Amino acid sequence: MFLRNYWYVAAMPPELDGGALLGRWILGEPVLLYRTEDGAVTAMKDICPHRSARLSAGERDGDRVRCLYHGLEFGPDGSCLRIPAQDAAPPEGLRVAGYPVAEKWRLIWVWMGAPEDADEALIPDFHWNDDPDWYPVGDYMHLDCHYQLLADNLMDLSHEAYVHRGTIGTDAVSETPAIASRDGDHVIVERIMPGCPAPPFYQKLKGYDGPIDRMHRIHFDPPATIMIESKSSPSGSNDPDDGLEYRVLCAITPETDDTTHFFWAVPRNFNPEEPVTEMMYQGSKAVFEEDIDVLNRQQEVLDKVEGAADWQNIQSDAGAVYARRVVEVLLAKEAG
């Protein structure tokens, strides 16, 4: 059960370099993505309508894709252009359905709902990932868990104090209550932490040696787009040069019922140069790997232990619970 009338991130642009035929399961459907010779991205079902071979295992001939099972050739619009040893026109049904696709904020998005409803204005605002005043790092990761476990994780950062103790976590994060609020389908969780110790990663990045004022503001939009504002500065400092501010952009795309694609980016507005870029990339990646380790094991328990999903909520779950309710209501709406 997935929300369909939304843009989902399907790939990072470099994944389509070199004429690649990228096959990726999205919402339980195999999708083929590639870049045509004019530079546009095309997306269609990754299934040959003849005998269901994966087209991504085929080969390109210019903008055509040749299925390497029986050699049928398809154009980027999904129409069948050639059947070996057959001069008669292809049967009516021998075409591949396409998906609306857009390239924005240095990401490739597909619309999984009714094509006529695809409106690029609905693509989530990730402009920090494509803005001269922000310096992004980012990557793709794969998780063996339901996509909402990752959304839950990002909506409740109190886990930083335990899961990310050696990098970005301090007790101030877990011991300071967060305020969750809801505005329509948008959920916000805010945590203000004045005069707290700097976590190890921040000490390394900015040389903070005293207390800092720290703030997290998490924004959720369905199905699972999360943007985190993170700001810190030495306690009481008004000097913007002392500040450490970044965004955590999280595009969560269900692959199947219990596996997930995670496209993340962490644009910052300080120290554009090396070695800070590499530190931000490696630091962020290490933090997400710590999360993934917890989440994959959590899924294993949910799969194998009856009743394990009968969770008990505590106060800090408010944001995650709101987010799940938003999705639940929208799923019911889409189901009519």
Which residues here bind Fe ion, judged by CB under 5 A?
A: 291
Which residues face 23 on adjacent strands?
32
Q: Minimum distance from CB of 298 to Fe ion (Å)?
A: 13
- In angstroms, what is the minimal distance from the CB of 168 to Fe ion? 8
Q: How far is the CB of 319 from Fe ion (least distance, A)?
A: 14
Give the Cα separation of 64 and 213 in Å (integer): 56
Among the listed residues 38, 27, 31, 28, the one whose alpha carbon sits nearest the alpha carbon of residue 11: 31
- Asked whether 249 and 265 are in contact (CB, 8 A), the reply is yes
Tell me the closest approach of the beta carbon of residue 182 to Fe ion, in angstroms.
22
- Give the helix ranges, DSSP H, for the chain: 147-155, 160-163, 171-175, 200-206, 276-304, 318-334
- Minimum distance of Fe ion from residue 312's CB (angstroms): 21
Pick between residue 24 and residue 216 the one whose CB is nearest to Fe ion. 216
Q: By beta-carbon distance, which residue lies closest to Fe ion?
A: 291
| 3-state class (DSSP) for residue 277 | helix
Q: For residues 221 and 291, which CB has a smaller minimum distance to Fe ion in the complex?
A: 291
What distance, in Å, lies between the first and last C-alpha atoms of the chain? 13
> 173 or 276: whose CB is closer to Fe ion?
173
Q: Assess contact for 184 and 175: CB atoms under 8 A.
A: no
CA 5 centroid distance within chain: 16
Question: C-beta of 126: minimal distance to Fe ion in Å?
Answer: 19
Which CB atom, from 73 or from 291, has the smaller least distance to Fe ion? 291
Nearer to Fe ion by Cβ, of 185 and 190: the residue is: 190
| Minimum separation from the CB atom of position 157 to Fe ion (A) | 7
* Amino acid residing at 82: R
Report in angstroms how near the CB of residue 153 gets to Fe ion at its nearest. Answer: 6
Distance of closest approach, residue 103 Cβ to Fe ion, in angstroms: 28
Residue 164: how many CB atoms within 10 A of its CB?
21
Q: Which of 56, 284 has the CB closer to Fe ion? A: 284
Structure token pair of residue 310: 């009968």
In DSSP notation, 15-41 reads: GGGGG--EEEEETTEEEEEEE-TTS-E
Residue 173: name the closest of 165, 181, 184 by CA.
165
Name the residue nearer to Fe ion (CB basis): 152 or 291: 291
* Nearest-angstrom CA–CA distance, 219 and 181: 10
Can you tell me which residue has the tokens 């505005």? 183
Nearer to Fe ion, 118 or 318 (CB): 318
**C-alpha distances in Å from residue 163, one per residue of 5, 142, 173, 269:** 34, 19, 12, 26
| β-pair type (98-99, 7-11) | unpaired
Nearer to Fe ion, 123 or 157 (CB): 157
